[in-house]
Amino acid sequence: MELLIESLEGDIYLAYQIQGERKAPLLDHHNNPRTFRSLEQVREYCSSETYHSASLLQTTAYDEMCGFSNSDQNSTVMNLNWF
């Protein structure tokens, strides 16, 4: 199982468990996607789970600033080397 963390505007992060083709968000006690305020908060929350890898997905503003359309091209994935 892999952990994918998506960085949204400011200090908002969503985390997903990925197993094969299945991508499921981490949920809070109300079954809503759980939001985090830092990468360290995600790491602490997930410390009891067994993940093979952790990655951070960030959107870059470069393409948007140059006038290109909003697409996956403005996303960067970084391995976090946590596990």
Q: Which residues pair with 57 in a beta bridge?
A: 6, 77
Instruction: Give tens-digit pLDDT for 49-77.
Output: 999 999 999 987 665 666 555 555 678 89
Domain chopping of the chain, boundaries: 2-79
The candidate with the shortest Cα–Cα distance to 15, out of 23, 7, 5, is: 5
pLDDT in tens, 11-47: 899 999 999 999 999 999 999 999 999 999 999 999 9
